[in-house]
Amino acid sequence: ARAPREKPKAEVAPKPRQAPTSEAQMAAAAALARLELKPKGKTPVCSQESIKNQVRKELMAEAAASEKGLPEEEKEEGAAAPSVSGVYFICPLTGDVVRKDKKEKHLREAIQAYFSVDPVAASIMEIHTFNKDRDKVRVGVETMAKYLDNIYLHPEEEKYRKIKLQNKVFQERISCLEGTHRFFQAVGFETKTLPVPGQGKEAQASSEEQEEQYYVLREDMLARLEELRDAKEQLLSSEPLRARLDRQLRLFQPSAQAAHFELPDDFYKLSADEIKREQRLRTEAVEKASMLRTRAMREKEEQREMRKYNYTLLRVRFPDGYILQGTFYARESVSVLYSFVREALRDDWLPFELLGPGGLKLTDENLAFNECGLVPSALLSLSWDAAVMADIEAAAEEQPQSPLRPELLARVQTL
């Protein structure tokens, strides 16, 4: 989306300045992700931070102009949303907010677009992000790093600059991983068909000489071995690119409907990966059943039914009736909810307690929401420290302000 054109001035109308295109925005966001991928210590902190700030500034300007990626109900000013329309994620490369079922496709498209910016980093993202077996990724990455190490340490040895694609180790550890072939191309390897070395006289005399495919390092890369070493370090130090769960923070006016939830299918349906995880959890439960069952173990097994939910929609009701709402992973800890509430406060130092359904205090912040029975939705209450609030009210010369941040109060909705 393009920013709206500015009105021309009185006489000479300057050429209107266009906002960054979607491609430029994606490239800028990808540059920020590249900074995160590179090993620490390569770039001075001040320089890195200034680049990050500039990229964020451009992204925010473009997002403000187009409102792209926001759920439809948020684009309609004043639209009331009793719950949520689905589960949404924030793409780490573009900053777009996308539905759960569009997350994988969007991430692939974003990484694909990043190849025009930095093909090495983009191929590394593919390797770490789209290959789910972490053990296979670790073995494959370590083997690839060994290939590059041999070249860097022994550049005069021609044998290290050639990798036979039909080699058993290469096939079993590397070729089976998504993104590895694009990585080798990005760091300077070319695919060539070469005669098989060490053939006997009979094979050499035959009309058809045996040939196999190899990756061969380009000659110009011998003068750029530092780049090869940097690519190896980046390959080893990178992590999977993960979309961040969008909390979909909302503030509602006091309402008798606070305990009424209508959840979309996203909160119940499990993906193939999630089903595999549930199967693993059930297997562990069977193994535990064969052991001496303590009371704590029985209680945990009773909560297993709650684990079929991956997400939970939580509301926190303040003493003045305002309701703060957010989306969370069912297995996140209670401490995350405390942080979520603090970020919504005008003064985050104010002490408070959260009370679950039935008035039970959530004192153990290390417990997960599904362990506390707070899935797939729950209404909690916030309780201030009475002594602190009394001191604040006594010291206030005017009517005490709401403890919530003004920007949240400015967009309060009706439940």
CB 175 within 8 A of CB 258: no
Would you say residue 8 has pLDDT above 50?
no
Same domain, 315 and 219: no
Domain-located, residue 9: no
Would you say residue 117 has pLDDT above 60?
yes
Q: What is the pLDDT of residue 103?
A: 94
Same domain, 114 and 187: yes
Instruction: Read off the CATH number of the domain in which 161 is found.
Output: 1.20.58.2190
Same domain, 100 and 217: yes
From CA 152, how far away is CA 406, in angstroms rounded? 57
Domain-located, residue 268: no
Q: Which residue range(s) make up the domain with 215? A: 88-195+210-245
Same domain, 216 and 325: no
From CA 47, how far away is CA 51, in angstroms rounded? 6
Provide the 3-class DSSP secondary structure of residue 306: helix
Q: Which amino acid is at 316?
A: V
Domain-located, residue 252: no
pLDDT in tens, 254-278: 999 999 888 888 887 666 666 666 6
Give how far Cα 214 sits from Cα of 30, 124, 159, 169, 170, Å.
31, 21, 11, 14, 11
Domain-located, residue 202: no
CB 368 within 8 A of CB 311: no
Structure tokens at 366: 């290390």
Domain-located, residue 367: yes
Instruction: Read off the CATH number of the domain in which 362 is found.
Output: 3.10.20.90
**Mean local confidence (pLDDT), 107-127:** 95
Structure tokens at 175: 């070729």
DSSP states along 163-202: EETT-HHIIIIIITSTTHHHHHHHTTEEEEEEEPTT--HH
The DSSP call for residue 4 is P
Domain-located, residue 99: yes
Same domain, 119 and 223: yes
What is the number of structural domains in the chain?
A: 2
Structure tokens at 100: 């759960």
Domain-located, residue 395: yes
Report the relative pairing of strands 250-252 and 97-99 from DSSP bridges.
unpaired
Angle between helices 119-130 and 225-237 (to 10 degrees): 30
How many helices (H) does the chain have, and how many strands (E)? 15, 11
From CA 119, how far away is CA 356, in angstroms rounded? 49
Q: Which residues make beta-bridge pairs with 257?
A: none
Contact residues for 226 (Cβ-Cβ < 8 A; gap 6+): none
Give how far Cα 323 sits from Cα of 130, 253, 375, 406, Å.
38, 6, 18, 15
Structure tokens at 7: 């009105």
Contact residues for 137 (Cβ-Cβ < 8 A; gap 6+): 127, 128, 131, 177
Q: What is the pLDDT of residue 306?
A: 54
Same domain, 93 and 216: yes
Report the relative pairing of strands 189-195 and 250-252 from DSSP bridges.
unpaired
Same domain, 360 and 241: no
DSSP states along 381-403: EEEE-HHHHHHHHHH-SSSPPPS
pLDDT in tens, 342-378: 999 999 999 999 999 988 899 999 999 998 889 999 9
pLDDT in tens, 161-208: 999 999 999 999 999 999 999 999 999 999 999 887 665 555 554 545
Same domain, 95 and 240: yes
Domain-located, residue 149: yes
Same domain, 235 and 336: no
Same domain, 353 and 234: no
Same domain, 218 and 364: no
Place of tokens 């620490």: 40
Same domain, 96 and 226: yes
Provide the 3-class DSSP secondary structure of residue 84: coil
